Amino acid sequence: MKHTDRINTKKLTLCALFAAISLTLYIIESMIPTVVPIPGVKIGLAYIPIIFLIFIGGEWKICDAAAVLTVRVFLSALIAGNLVALCFSSVGGLFALITMAIMRTVIKEEWAVIPAGIFSAVMHNVGQLTAASFIYTWSVWAYLPYLLISAVISGLFTGLLIYFIVKKPNKLVNRIKYLR
Amino acid sequence: MSQTDLNPPLRRTRMDKRKTVCILIVVLIVFGALLGLLFIKGEKIAGSVACIYSNGKLIKTIELKSEDDYTFEVKSENGGVNTIQVKDGKIGVISADCPDKICVNTPHISDGVQPIVCMPNRLVIQIEAKRPE
Testing the interface with A: which of B3, B12, B25, B26 to mutate, by most A Cβ within 10 A?
Answer: B26
Every domain of chain B and the residues it spans: 3-42, 49-128
Hey, which residues 50-79 in chain A have their CB within 8 Å of chain B? none
| Segment among B2-16, B21-35, B48-62, B84-98 with least mean pLDDT | B2-16
Domain B49-128: CATH class, spelled out: mainly beta
pLDDT, tens only, B21-37 = 889 999 999 999 999 98
Using the beta-carbon criterion (under 8 Å), do A119 and B40 form an inter-chain contact? no
- On whether any CB of chain A is under 8 Å from the CB of B18, the answer is yes
Using the beta-carbon criterion (under 8 Å), do B18 and A107 form an inter-chain contact? yes
The pLDDT value recorded for residue B25 is: 92
Please name the member of B18, B30, B105 whose beta carbon is closest to the beta carbon of A37. B105
Using the beta-carbon criterion (under 8 Å), do B26 and A84 form an inter-chain contact? no
On the CB side of A50, CA atoms within 13 Å amount to 30
Please name the member of A39, A84, A137 whose beta carbon is closest to the beta carbon of B102. A39
- On whether any CB of chain B is under 8 Å from the CB of A105, the answer is no
How would residue B12 be classed by pLDDT, with cut points 50, 70 and 90? low
- Asked if pLDDT for residue A4 goes beyond 70, the answer is no
CA distance B115 to chain A (A): 6
Global pTM exceeds 0.80: yes
Give the pairing of strands B49-54 and B90-96: unpaired
Mean pLDDT of all residues in A49-76: 90
pLDDT, tens only, B40-62 = 888 777 767 888 888 878 888 88
For domain A9-177, the question of CATH label 1.10.760.10 is answered with no
- On whether any CB of chain B is under 8 Å from the CB of A109, the answer is yes
Cβ-based contacts of B19 with chain A (< 8 Å): 111
Cβ-based contacts of A37 with chain B (< 8 Å): 102, 105-107
Q: Examine the predicted complex and report whether its ipTM is higher than 0.95.
A: no
Cβ-based contacts of A106 with chain B (< 8 Å): 18
Q: How far apart are the first and last CA of chain B?
A: 69
CA distance B27 to chain A (A): 10
Residues linked to residue B128 through DSSP beta bridges, in sequence order: B49
Every domain of chain A and the residues it spans: 9-177
Using the beta-carbon criterion (under 8 Å), do A118 and B26 form an inter-chain contact? yes
| Chain B residue with minimum CA distance to A136 | B56
Testing the interface with B: which of A42, A103, A104, A137 to mutate, by most B Cβ within 10 A?
Answer: A137
Distances (CA, A) of A28 to A18, A39, A76, A106: 15, 17, 12, 33
- Asked if pLDDT for residue A49 goes beyond 90, the answer is yes
The pLDDT value recorded for residue A101 is: 92
Cβ-based contacts of B22 with chain A (< 8 Å): 114-115
Using the beta-carbon criterion (under 8 Å), do A142 and B26 form an inter-chain contact? no
Give the integer Cα–Cα distance in Å for B80 and A84.
Answer: 14
How would residue B109 be classed by pLDDT, with cut points 50, 70 and 90? confident
- Asked if pLDDT for residue A57 goes beyond 80, the answer is yes
Mean pLDDT of all residues in A111-118: 92
Residue A75: which residues within 8 A CB-CB, separation 6 or more?
A19, A23
